[in-house]
Amino acid sequence: MVEGDDGMKDVGEQLAEKLKKRNWNKNYRQLIRDAFEDEEVKNFIRDNQAGLSQEDIAKSASKVYEFVSVKNKIKRGEETLAPGYDPQLTLNNHLIDVTYVPSEALIIQKKRQAIYNRVHSINMPKDIRDAELADYDLEGRELAAEAAGRFIVEYTNAPKKFHRAMYLQGSFGVGKTYLLGAIANGLAEEGVTSTLLHFPSFAVEMKNSIGSNGTMKMVDEVKRTPVLMLDDIGADQLSSWIRDDILGVILQYRMQEELPTFFSSNLDMIQLEKQYLTTNNRGEAEPLKAKRIMERIRFLAEEFRIVGRNRRQFKK
């Protein structure tokens, strides 16, 4: 009895398995048939009929099925094994094959990323990441916006030539930093790398890391960047070390190498010069050193006054 029971069970299990398999096969065959009904598949086979025999097509069934199922998954918004890549039918040694090509969305995303990567921001607010000249509200800054657009065109046309950059002067919140960001992004779209630096924070970092290897390496990187933007210059009282050995060194190099350098400041150039008359250790003003810095800034950049409302008040 015991034996018989077992035997019966075996047979039953085998049968169930067979049925399952048959069903599955049936389903699979149906899926394959459906896949061959896909318009893209039909067109592909028609376009390539010279190179495809009936046997080749039959052998390619699983690839055709893969193509259609991945394609439909993407259409339904489901995650695929290779997100961002679209399946494409190809002919490979008399068989149909599927290759995966970057989707349009992925290409756009990669391009965007490449643009972001060309803008090195150091201690800058995040919202300049998407600043665009096209979105720039022109009221009170027509000249500056026009000059910014011209700079991008002229620089990208002749990157080896010297181009005088801009010194954006205006009160708090008028959009100076935003404009610098928009210029950097505009340049990035043309393949140009720039570095945006919030100068007061940079000065504090330099002071805190005096003597470390990192300090001079950072200064070195900053001074060599193709396009440099020093944001909020003059917002703090600089020590003479920062003024002469950091800022002075950077500006001297950029002047010698004729590398474009932008500035933004709440102060105009005359006010900035006064600000830079830092007293030295002995308590004496150093007008010559302040003048030397200003000479370099004037060589590198033309002053633009930006007026307008404080946009920060209107934001929460």
CB of residue 292 vs ligand ADP: minimum separation in angstroms?
Answer: 26
CB of residue 228 vs Mg ion: minimum separation in angstroms?
Answer: 16
315 binds, among ligand ADP, Mg ion, none (CB under 5 to 8 A by kind): ligand ADP
* Sites for Mg ion among residues 149-188 (CB under 5 A): 177
Helices (H) and strands (E) in the chain, counts: 13, 8
135 binds, among ligand ADP, Mg ion, none (CB under 5 to 8 A by kind): ligand ADP
- Alpha-carbon gap, residue 109 to 112, rounded angstroms: 5
221 binds, among ligand ADP, Mg ion, none (CB under 5 to 8 A by kind): none
Q: How many CB atoms lie under 10 A from the CB of residue 1? A: 5
Q: For ligand ADP, give the closer residue by CB, 87 or 234.
A: 234
> For 128, which DSSP code?
G
Count of residues that bind ligand ADP according to CB under 6 A = 15
Q: For ligand ADP, give the closer residue by CB, 175 or 186.
A: 175
Q: Please work out, in degrees rounded to the nearest 5, the angle formed at the alpha carbon of residue 312 by the alpha carbons of 308 and 316.
A: 145
- Alpha-carbon gap, residue 68 to 40, rounded angstroms: 9
CB of residue 312 vs ligand ADP: minimum separation in angstroms?
Answer: 5
- Alpha-carbon gap, residue 121 to 195, rounded angstroms: 6
- Alpha-carbon gap, residue 39 to 48, rounded angstroms: 14
**Among 172, 271, 152, which residue's Cα sits nearest to residue 231?**
172
CB of residue 232 vs ligand ADP: minimum separation in angstroms?
Answer: 7
Told to check if 130 binds ligand ADP by CB under 6 A, we report: no
- Alpha-carbon gap, residue 310 to 174, rounded angstroms: 5
Q: Which of 46, 75, 315, 316 binds ligand ADP (CB under 6 A)?
A: 315
Q: Which of 67, 136, 167, 199 binds ligand ADP (CB under 6 A)?
A: 136
71 binds, among ligand ADP, Mg ion, none (CB under 5 to 8 A by kind): none
Token pair, residue 74, equals 């993407």
Which one of 30-38, 68-76, 97-105, 135-143 is the stretch in contact with ligand ADP (CB under 6 A)? Answer: 135-143
* Sites for ligand ADP among residues 152-191 (CB under 6 A): 170, 172-178
| Residue 21: its H or E element | helix 2-37
**Among 69, 308, 148, 120, which residue's Cα sits nearest to residue 228?**
120
- Contact residues: ligand ADP, CB under 6 A: 127, 135-137, 170, 172-178, 311-312, 315
